[in-house]
Structure 1
């Protein structure tokens, strides 16, 4: 596995961009310079993240999301720990 996170990743197992191995490794997202822990999906090259909107659900019972554009930076949690020590 490479040391760079994928360009696009989703937490939804139904998505073609879902990668269980990468998610188990732990991916952190920095959006517009702020740490985000509630990102459902992101795309670095297109510069957007999908964030849940409150507690509302769609008709399939999935959380409703909002696509927000801006600078996206993804990293693996284990790389951050290695750099600090």
Structure 2
């Protein structure tokens, strides 16, 4: 167990950040699933804009790697274009 006041605070803040990151990542994955299950092209294009923004935000905050974000966006864009 930590002995310093700052270490205890760091433990608390790390847990809060971990939960926030987990929530954002899970929410993004849910939107990606929703996009993949969409058959309507117009709806998919609108949803793609939202999902791309969410993925960019995850990459910016180092929740996912920037190359992973780029790869996901590329695959989703191809998927929407093929509808």
TM superposition score category, shorter chain reference: under 0.3
* Bigger CA radius of gyration: 2
- Give the alignment's TM-score, normalised by structure 2: 0.24
Higher strand share goes to which structure?
Answer: 1
- Give the alignment's TM-score, normalised by structure 1: 0.23
Higher helix share goes to which structure?
Answer: 2
